[in-house]
Amino acid sequence: MTAQIVIFTAADVQSYLGDLVTLLQDAVDTGASVGFMPPMSAAEAEDFWHGISADLRAGTRVMLAALVEGVVAGSVQLGLAQRPNSLHRAEVQKLLVHNRYRRRGIGKHLMLALEDAAREYHRTLLVLDTIKGDTAEQLYPKIGYIRVGEIPQFAMIADRSLEATVLFYKILSA
Ligand SMILES: CC(C)(COP(=O)(O)OP(=O)(O)OC[C@H]1O[C@@H](n2cnc3c(N)ncnc32)[C@H](O)[C@@H]1OP(=O)(O)O)[C@@H](O)C(=O)NCCC(=O)NCCS
């Protein structure tokens, strides 16, 4: 079972809205720190994806999805910095792989495909942060991201304690 990585437009987000809602709820409700507190309602997840659609229409964001047999198994986004001095930079956001499809290389595949997308937008510096101790902290160094350091008490996690975030960057070769 191989995943097909595709660029998602705003229209694709609407077409696959049910899958995307399930993907985000799965991540939040299994304890991932991706901006929301569990339990996550379908309405809250839908609102999030509608906001993403608006960004895609505005051209300030790029989104990739991993499709397995026509179902969204994962996704990742690139927030394109908009200031005149930052047009070479983008932030990797919301790398999500549904529980059912994890540990099959889909997360890594999405991240590497995102680098190709970044180059198309002339973005040569990628930055991201991830909650300390989450699975993703182990993934990023494996694909060449440099760990910068930690910010303590950055985000509230599922048990309502404040956890540190870890900052990473990667400079893309031409
Ligand atoms: C983080 C996440 C996207 C990884 O997706 P995935 O498809 O399972 O990752 P991959 O199979 O591509 O794994 C790539 C590497 O990451 C590391 N990794 C992934 N899952 C891991 C785990 N559960 N434990 C330890 N290492 C892990 C491994 O080094 C792995 O390489 P290997 O399988 O060759 O050992 C997925 O666990 C997820 O969606 N988590 C919830 C959301 C989240 O936290 N997103 C990150 C926000 S910054």
Indicate whether 155 pLDDT > 80: yes
Could you report the per-residue pLDDT of 102-141, keeping only the tens digit for each? 999 999 999 999 999 999 999 999 999 999 999 999 999 9
Tell me: pLDDT of 22 over 80: yes
Confidence (pTM)? 0.97
Helix axes of 17-29 and 42-58: crossing angle, nearest 10 degrees: 120
Ligand 1 atom closest to residue 96's alpha carbon, by position in its atom list: 39
Query: What is the CA(138)–ligand 1 centre distance, in A?
Result: 7
Pairing assessment for the beta strands 146-156 and 4-8 based on DSSP bridges: unpaired
Alpha-carbon Rg of the chain, whole angstroms? 15
Q: Which CATH number is 4-124's, of 1.10.260.40, 3.40.630.30, 1.10.10.60, 3.30.360.10? A: 3.40.630.30
Average pLDDT over residues 84-112: 98
What local confidence, expressed as pLDDT, does residue 105 receive?
A: 97
Per domain, the residue ranges of the chain are 4-124
Confidence tier at 163 by pLDDT (50, 70, 90)? very high
Element (H, E) at 162: strand 162-171
Residue 1, pLDDT > 80, answer: no
List the Cα angle 63/68/74 in 5-degree steps: 35
Average pLDDT over residues 21-39: 96
What pLDDT does residue 149 have? 98
Ligand 1 centroid–CA 83 distance in Å is 32
Q: What is the residue-averaged pLDDT of the chain?
A: 97
Residue 173's pLDDT band, with cuts at 50, 70 and 90, is confident
Ligand 1, residues 33, 102, 111, 127: which to mutate, most atoms within 8 A of Cβ? 102
Q: Residue 174: its pLDDT value, please?
A: 72
What pLDDT was estimated at residue 99?
97
Q: What are phi and psi of 111, to 5 degrees?
A: -65, -40
Ligand 1 centroid to Cα of residue 91, in Å, is: 19
Task: Calculate mean pLDDT across residues 63-71.
Answer: 98
Residue 124 DSSP SS3: coil
Omega cis (within 30) before 39: yes
Tokens at residue 109, please? 């595949």
